[in-house]
Amino acid sequence: MPADPNATARRCGDCTACCDGWLKIRIRDHDVYPGHPCPFTGAGKCAIYDARPVDPCRNFVCGWLAPTSPLPEWMRPDRSHLIFLPASFTWRTIPVDVAVAIGARPKAKARAWLEGFSREARRPLLLQSDGEWQAHGPPDFLRDMVERLARADDPWR
Q: What does the pLDDT look like over 12-41, one tens digit per residue?
A: 888 889 999 998 899 999 999 888 999 998
Domain housing 32: 5-150
Q: Is residue 112 part of a domain?
A: yes
Residue 13: what pLDDT? 86
pLDDT of residue 42: 80
Residue 88 inside a domain? The answer is yes
Please report whether residue 26 resides in a domain: yes
Report H helices in 15-100.
Answer: 77-80
CA separation, residue 110 to residues 10, 75, 115, 133 (Å): 18, 7, 9, 16
In a domain, 35, yes or no: yes
> Is there a domain that residue 108 lies in?
yes
Mean pLDDT over each residue of the chain, to the nearest integer: 88
Cα 15 to Cα 19, 65, 69, 124: the distances in Å are 9, 11, 17, 26
Is residue 157 one of the residues assigned to a domain? no
Residue 156 belongs to some domain of the structure: no
Residue 155: inside a domain: no
Please tell me the total count of domains within the chain. Answer: 1
